[in-house]
């Protein structure tokens, strides 16, 4: 039996990591004015610059059912089973579209990650470990789902105008946050919906480093195998200082990746997200 791991581009893994872990992806869609295409057609800065210049919001949309049906059919030529990870159903129609495309096929399991970006990647990489260790399909799925609530998935905003343009916050909240130089933390809750966490105040670097410190100290029981950093745009020097903090906390690996345009656009520029498991060590023994 061979098991495929599948995901949407919202998993935010670099091409070399997708190849390394044998993860098969398909892309979300982006519309920028009259221009439309898969989200890898655009850069984050392209979308930010367009909206700041024109005031027109770009739009993102999930893979449609037909695309997913073709994707599953292609994978089924090589693999006998498929585990497909989606961005949270609380954020997108990607999950419901994938379930419809799977059409009840027992060889395809669709997992609602209840998060996005590196939070999806954590679950996919855990599935890869289990598959490589010889665990059967049903046990891989059950073990991944058992750990889903332990994923800590969050990001920190630099500005709220992109959320405001997308109808995700009021003009008053945006104005107050900008006036007070507040940089709020956004968390994925247990239902996979966005919730406002702590609010940090000050210049970007100070707030980013305080956010990273706070996330690490809030969750003392960490699985320190890997941590994901995903960013929309960010000063490389700030990224390096933030990464150093996580390595100093004992993480063996910090995977730093620029998030896809789908994940980045609605949050805006200068956003950093951090994702890790907060349920202690989980070594995977060979079956």
In this structure, are 207 and 82 located in the same domain?
A: no
| pTM, to two decimals | 0.94
The domain boundary, picked from 113, 148, 183, lies at: 148
In this structure, are 27 and 110 located in the same domain?
A: yes
Is residue 50 in a domain?
no
pLDDT at 175 over 50: no
In this structure, are 205 and 86 located in the same domain?
A: no
pLDDT at 275 over 80: yes
Confirm if 148 and 11 have CB atoms less than 8 A apart: no
In this structure, are 186 and 238 located in the same domain?
A: yes
In this structure, are 142 and 216 located in the same domain?
A: no
What is the rounded distance in angstroms from the CA atom of residue 230 to the CA atom of residue 267? 12
The domain boundary, picked from 125, 148, 171, lies at: 148
- Domain range for 15: 3-33+41-45+59-148
Strand 59-61 relative to strand 29-32: parallel, antiparallel, unpaired?
Answer: antiparallel
Is residue 285 in a domain?
no
In this structure, are 121 and 174 located in the same domain?
A: no
Q: Quick: pLDDT tens for 100-141.
A: 999 999 999 999 999 999 999 999 999 999 999 999 999 999
- Residue 163 pLDDT level (bands cut at 50, 70, 90): low
Range among 32-36, 174-178, 187-191 with highest mean pLDDT value: 32-36
- Residue 164 pLDDT level (bands cut at 50, 70, 90): low
Q: Average pLDDT in the 144-151 region?
A: 97
In this structure, are 28 and 156 located in the same domain?
A: no
Sheet holding 254-258, edge to edge: 194-201, 182-188, 151-156, 272-277, 227-231, 254-258
Tally of domains in the chain? 2
SS (H, E, C) 203-262: CHHHHHHHHHHHHHHHCCCCCCCCEEEEECCCCHHHHHHHHHHHHHCCCCCEEEEECCHH
Q: Tell me what pLDDT residue 113 has.
A: 98
In this structure, are 22 and 105 located in the same domain?
A: yes
- Residue 287 pLDDT level (bands cut at 50, 70, 90): confident
The domain boundary, picked from 102, 129, 148, lies at: 148
What is the rounded distance in angstroms from the CA atom of residue 190 to the CA atom of residue 35? 36
In this structure, are 29 and 140 located in the same domain?
A: yes
Q: Specify the higher pLDDT residue, 194 or 78.
A: 78
Q: Quick: pLDDT tens for 39-56.
A: 999 999 999 999 989 988
Is residue 54 in a domain?
no
Mean pLDDT of the chain, nearest integer? 92
In this structure, are 98 and 196 located in the same domain?
A: no
Is residue 99 in a domain?
yes
In this structure, are 228 and 138 located in the same domain?
A: no
Is residue 105 in a domain?
yes
Domain CATH number, residue 29: 3.40.50.10170
Q: How many CA atoms lie within 13 A of 141 on its CB side?
A: 18
Q: Quick: pLDDT tens for 13-49.
A: 999 999 999 999 999 999 999 999 999 999 999 999 9
Tokens 């940090």 belong to which residue? 200
């Amino acid at each position: 039996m061979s098991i495929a791991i599948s995901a949407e581009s919202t998993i935010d893994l670099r091409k070399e990591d997708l190849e390394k872990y044998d993860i098969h992806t398909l892309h979300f869609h982006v519309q920028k004015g009259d221009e439309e295409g898969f989200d890898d057609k655009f850069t984050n800065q392209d979308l930010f610059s367009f909206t700041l210049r024109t005031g027109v919001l770009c739009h993102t949309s999930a893979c449609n059912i037909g695309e997913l049906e073709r994707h599953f059919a292609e994978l089924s030529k090589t693999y006998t089973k498929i585990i497909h990870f989606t961005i949270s159903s609380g954020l997108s129609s990607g999950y419901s579209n994938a379930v419809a495309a799977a059409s009840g096929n027992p060889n395809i399991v669709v997992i609602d990650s209840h998060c996005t970006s590196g939070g999806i990647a954590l679950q996919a990489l855990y599935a890869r470990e289990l598959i490589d260790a010889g665990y059967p399909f049903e046990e891989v799925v059950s073990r991944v789902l058992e750990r889903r609530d332990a994923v800590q998935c969050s990001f920190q905003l630099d500005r709220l105008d992109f959320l405001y343009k997308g109808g995700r916050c009021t003009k008053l909240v945006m104005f107050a946050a900008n006036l007070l130089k507040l940089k709020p933390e956004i968390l994925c809750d247990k239902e996979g919906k966005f919730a406002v966490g702590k609010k940090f105040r000050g210049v970007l670097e100070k707030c980013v480093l305080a956010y990273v410190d706070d996330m690490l100290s809030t969750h003392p029981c960490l699985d320190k195998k890997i941590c994901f950093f995903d960013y929309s745009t960010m000063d490389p020097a700030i990224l390096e200082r933030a990464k150093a903090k996580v390595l100093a906390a004992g993480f063996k690996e910090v995977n730093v990746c620029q998030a896809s345009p789908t994940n980045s656009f609605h949050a805006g520029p200068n956003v950093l997200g951090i994702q890790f498991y907060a349920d202690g060590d989980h070594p995977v023994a060979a079956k």
